[in-house]
């Protein structure tokens, strides 16, 4: 479980990690505006919860899952400060063990998680997604792209590498070049947003 060779728990313990921007990603806001989320939503690798909280603010029933307790502590603190009518639920868990989690979703958000996995882990992850996502449900992936050559950061993926990881039963609804905003690049990192529909 690492980002560019660094352990996630250590990165949270050291302070504010580069991805913690304390606001939702613009690309996620665009998806919300376009009606591309349906409840229940699962935000995998939710970090400190900015996207999860925004989804709840918009009236969606949402759970955020992360493997690092400190990330969830920050997410819960932000939720308290947000004063929402309906709060998201934050769960400590492993996105590589979704198949046995009992979780169910109509929409899954993967914002900067998929690109952290090894090739082998990807296969396990996709089998888990198949267990949690309902038929005709959507999966949105936001991943660093090969066009982002600056360090630091995670592994970079091409569009064909992302779409090619998903086999039969997954349809690409759309894919766009976009930015993933972080704390180290004032213009954001080059990224892909790929949306899949589960058939
Ligand atoms: C790059 S951060 C992105 C966080 C958040 N989605 C965002 O965009 O702000 C990746 C997150 O995934 C979490 N993570 C990594 N591997 C995980 C796993 N196997 N299961 C659950 N969470 C994981 C990390 O702890 C970290 O919070």
Check which CATH number belongs to the domain holding 137 and give it.
3.40.50.150
Residue 196 pLDDT level (bands cut at 50, 70, 90) = very high
Does 67 sit in the ligand 1 pocket, CB within 6 Å?
A: yes
Helices (H), ranges, the chain: 8-14, 26-33, 50-57, 69-82, 119-132, 159-164
Cβ 164 vs Cβ 126: under 8 Å:
no
SS3 for 69?
A: helix
CA distances from 20 to 24, 98, 175 (A): 10, 24, 24
Does 46 sit in the ligand 1 pocket, CB within 6 Å?
A: yes
Does 98 sit in the ligand 1 pocket, CB within 6 Å?
A: no
Tens of pLDDT, residue by residue over 2-23, are 776 679 999 999 999 999 999 9
Nearest CA to ligand 1 atom 16: 1
Nearest CA to ligand 1 atom 11: 45
Q: Which domain holds residue 120?
A: 2-198
Does 45 sit in the ligand 1 pocket, CB within 6 Å?
A: yes
pLDDT beyond 90 at 1:
no
Cβ 3 vs Cβ 116: under 8 Å:
yes
Tens of pLDDT, residue by residue over 132-190, are 999 999 999 999 999 999 999 999 999 999 999 999 999 999 999 999 999 999 999 99
Strand 133-144 vs strand 105-111: parallel, antiparallel, or unpaired? parallel
**Total count of domains within the chain:** 1
């Amino acid at each position: 479980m690492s980002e560019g060779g660094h352990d996630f728990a250590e990165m949270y313990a050291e302070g504010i990690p580069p991805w913690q921007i304390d606001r939702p990603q613009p690309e996620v806001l665009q998806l919300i505006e376009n009606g591309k989320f349906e409840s229940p939503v699962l935000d995998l690798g939710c970090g400190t919860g900015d996207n999860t909280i925004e989804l709840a603010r918009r009236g969606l029933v949402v759970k955020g899952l992360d493997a690092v307790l400190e990330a969830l502590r920050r997410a819960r603190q932000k939720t308290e400060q947000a004063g929402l009518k309906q709060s998201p639920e934050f769960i400590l868990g492993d996105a590589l063990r979704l198949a046995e989690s009992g979780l169910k979703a109509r929409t899954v958000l993967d914002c900067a998680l998929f690109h952290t996995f090894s090739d082998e882990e990807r296969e396990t992850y996709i089998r888990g997604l198949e267990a949690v996502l309902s038929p005709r449900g959507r999966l949105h992936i936001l991943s660093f792209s090969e066009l982002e050559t600056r360090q630091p950061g995670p592994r970079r993926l091409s569009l064909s590498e992302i779409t090619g990881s998903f086999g039969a039963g997954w349809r690409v609804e759309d894919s766009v070049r976009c930015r993933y905003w972080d704390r180290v690049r004032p213009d954001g990192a080059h990224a892909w947003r790929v949306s899949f529909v589960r058939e």
